[in-house]
Amino acid sequence: MKRLLFLSLLLTALTGCLTAGESAPTRSSLPKHEFRGAWMHIIGQNQYAEMTPEQTRQYLIEQLDLLQRANCNAVIWQIRPQADAAYVSQLEPWSRWLTGEPGKAPDPVWDPLQFIIEQTHKRGMELHAWINPYRVTSSEEDKPAPGHIYYEHPEWFLKYADGKLYFDPGLPESRDFIDTVVRDILTRYDIDALHMDDYFYPYPVKGAEFPDTASYNAYGIGWDKNDWRRHNVDLLIEQLHNTIQEVKPWVRFGISPFGIWRNKASDPDGSETNGLQCYDALYADCLKWTAEGWVDYMVPQLYWELEHKAASDLVLMHWWNDHANDRHMYYGQALNNVMSHRDVADEGGDTSNPTQLDHKMRLQRAMEHVHGVTWWPGYTITSNFKGVLDSLETKQTCHPALIPAYTWLDNEKPQPVRGLEVKKVAGKKCLVWSAPKTDDPMQQAVRYVVYRYPKGKKGQLDNPADIIAITGETTMVLPDGGKGKWQYAVTALDRCWNESAPTWK
């Protein structure tokens, strides 16, 4: 019965890419619009502390170039893993994961966040600034850096049975400080999205109650304690949403919750699973956040294999598709798991790649409310773990893709690019254009799509195989020196990925 379920649910959306060395297809069956993100965490990544600033910059360039080969269009970069900063901040100390010592600045000082924003935008990619809201330390031995807000307001913080220090989510002061940090980031940096993952209230330690009795007595009397805790997280999510809308309404707010909301045994609307529930254990009512319109995209962490007994990814992929609440849904996939499990259930799949990669991509592309994927972690792609970069580059994501437009934020197309021409720049044959003029930041062109067609055969701009670049630049060196009889179309993309009409050359 289970095997029949797999086969009946699998709607084949065959990828149109061929292996390296074969001719490109005349028409790709890959989607033109698809989010393809990669998480890049710094916590636990000791290589940054061992590098000089120049070595770090070169390393990040190499990482982004490899992600671009896989046609990733968004990088989710961790900038605040534990109430610290991997960027220049007057509010929180430098992260030890960047420099090796809490509060120690890079020498010479530089701004990794500004650098990676510039580098991703240059490549036509988005930069999502990833923060962890409540966590302050990562172990019993870990201490906040000198000058941390903890020493000024120790009453805002609690130590749990896991030995870690957390902001008390029940205190308005905690929410207001986190909001101040986010407002500062929004004001000073051209980020495309604010991102949080699954760490809200801490993962539970068996038999240990979170020590928030004092804040509950001050703010929660009359509430069921579990409902009150969920309400505290709701208040933070709503407050951050309101701040984003006030400061930069084009910036998206995305969250990546633990992959199980609730099991059906706990809630009739839950999934046919048997595992930890983020609603009950972490007090994260993530379905409410999209239903209320506070969150623009959800990335459930579907880190299990398709046939997992307690938490089948097949079951969860369909469940989250049915609970998108008219917001974008991107599936978080752990590539180590994806590439380490054979695809025993997919008889119609790619037999040259017997992992679950191809099957999962085709499954999610067949789902009505799923708009893309996010890879955990991006370092797995850049290290080409079990050939995953080779596979993505030549098959599953072999053509560029535009992120689906966030039409509830803005559905107006930008004006076309101006002055498109072919000319020599620094001795190389280039395509050159100018951005459309506008005073409206929502309509500002921030990226461009370049299409190429044989002369006399203008396309409909609907085939990603015709895209030769998505770029943040207004000059592009033509492939192969521009040889051949080609015509080009360039379109503008605004901050919400609305695409303009084409300008032809």
* Per-residue CA distances from 73 to 11, 127, 212, 339, 501 (Å): 25, 9, 41, 21, 21
Judge if 366 and 426 occupy the same domain: no
136-153 average pLDDT score: 95
**Residue 22 confidence (pLDDT):** 35
Helix (H, G, I), strand (E, B) or coil at 445: coil
Kindly report the number of other CB atoms within 10 A of residue 370's CB atom: 21
Q: 63 φ, ψ to 5°? A: -65, -45
Q: How many Å apart are CA 161 and CA 206, to the nearest integer?
A: 9
Judge if 93 and 238 occupy the same domain: yes
Q: How many Å apart are CA 493 and CA 476, to the nearest integer?
A: 16
Give the pairing type, strands 503-504 and 418-425: unpaired
Angle at 244 between CA 241 and CA 250, to 5 degrees: 115
The reply to whether 412 falls in a domain is no
End-to-end CA distance of the chain: 56
Q: Which residues pair with 114 in a beta bridge?
A: none
Kindly tell me if the per-residue pLDDT of 7 is higher than 80: no
> What are 45's two structure tokens?
């990544």
Write down the mean pLDDT value for the chain: 92
Angle at 128 between CA 124 and CA 130, to 5 degrees: 155
The answer to whether 240 and 194 have CB atoms below 8 angstroms apart is yes
418-426 average pLDDT score: 93
Judge if 139 and 262 occupy the same domain: yes
Judge if 195 and 263 occupy the same domain: yes
The reply to whether 227 falls in a domain is yes
> What are 19's two structure tokens?
């292996």
Q: Which residue has better confidence, 459 or 97? A: 97
> What are 239's two structure tokens?
């407050």
> What is the total residue count of the chain?
505
Judge if 116 and 219 occupy the same domain: yes
Angle at 455 between CA 452 and CA 456, to 5 degrees: 120
The reply to whether 407 falls in a domain is no
The answer to whether 28 and 399 have CB atoms below 8 angstroms apart is yes
Instruction: Report the range of poorest mean pLDDT among 69-78, 271-280, 290-299, 452-461.
Output: 452-461
Tens digit of pLDDT for each residue in 25-36? 357 789 999 999
The answer to whether 250 and 242 have CB atoms below 8 angstroms apart is no
The reply to whether 266 falls in a domain is yes
Domain boundary, last residue among 348, 364, 396? 396
**Residue 456 confidence (pLDDT):** 85
The reply to whether 410 falls in a domain is no
The reply to whether 409 falls in a domain is no
Percent of the chain whose pLDDT exceeds 70: 92
Judge if 33 and 94 occupy the same domain: yes
Instruction: Report the range of poorest mean pLDDT among 68-72, 160-164, 227-231, 459-463.
Output: 459-463
Judge if 386 and 493 occupy the same domain: no
The answer to whether 28 and 463 have CB atoms below 8 angstroms apart is yes
User: What global pTM score does this model have?
Assistant: 0.93
**Residue 14 confidence (pLDDT):** 34
**Residue 8 confidence (pLDDT):** 33
For position 427, which CATH number holds? 2.60.40.10
Judge if 68 and 207 occupy the same domain: yes
Tens digit of pLDDT for each residue in 434-474? 999 999 999 999 999 999 999 888 889 999 999 999 999 99
What's the pLDDT band for 3 if we cut at 50, 70, 90? very low
Angle at 95 between CA 115 and CA 184, to 5 degrees: 60
Q: How many Å apart are CA 225 and CA 465, to the nearest integer?
A: 54
Computed from CA positions of residues 461, 463, 465, 467, in that sequence, does the dihedral angle turn out positive or negative?
Answer: positive
Q: Which residues pair with 451 in a beta bridge?
A: 467, 489
Judge if 240 and 281 occupy the same domain: yes
For position 208, which CATH number holds? 3.20.20.80
Domain, as residue range, for 488: 418-504
**Residue 343 confidence (pLDDT):** 79
Give the pairing type, strands 428-434 and 475-477: antiparallel
Tens digit of pLDDT for each residue in 469-498? 999 999 999 987 667 789 999 999 999 999
Q: How many Å apart are CA 261 and CA 270, to the nearest integer?
A: 7
Helix (H, G, I), strand (E, B) or coil at 65: helix
DSSP sequence for 329-385: EEEEEEHHHHHHS--TT-TTS-TTS-SSHHHHHHHHHTSTT--EEEEE-HHHHHTTG
**Residue 1 confidence (pLDDT):** 33
The reply to whether 303 falls in a domain is yes
Any idea what DSSP says for residue 117?
A: H
Judge if 422 and 390 occupy the same domain: no
As to burial, measured by CB atoms within 10 angstroms (0-12 exposed, 13-18 middle, 19+ buried), residue 62 is exposed
* Per-residue CA distances from 182 to 71, 111, 243 (Å): 29, 17, 8
Judge if 426 and 392 occupy the same domain: no
Tens digit of pLDDT for each residue in 242-266? 999 999 999 999 999 999 999 999 9
**Residue 17 confidence (pLDDT):** 58
Q: 9 φ, ψ to 5°? A: -85, -20
Encode burial over 255-292: b for 16+ CB neighbours within 10 A, e otherwise: bbbbbbbbbeeeeeebbebebbbbbbbbbbbbbbbbee
Judge if 245 and 137 occupy the same domain: yes
The answer to whether 233 and 169 have CB atoms below 8 angstroms apart is yes
Kindly tell me if the per-residue pLDDT of 238 is higher than 90: yes
**Residue 9 confidence (pLDDT):** 35
Number of domains in the chain: 2
Kindly tell me if the per-residue pLDDT of 130 is higher than 90: yes
Task: Single out the residue of 353, 270, 374 nearest to residue 315, CA to CA.
Answer: 270
Q: How many Å apart are CA 502 and CA 487, to the nearest integer?
A: 12
Report residue 247 CA to chain centroid gap. Answer: 21
Q: How many Å apart are CA 271 and CA 315, to the nearest integer?
A: 7
Any idea what DSSP says for residue 25?
A: P
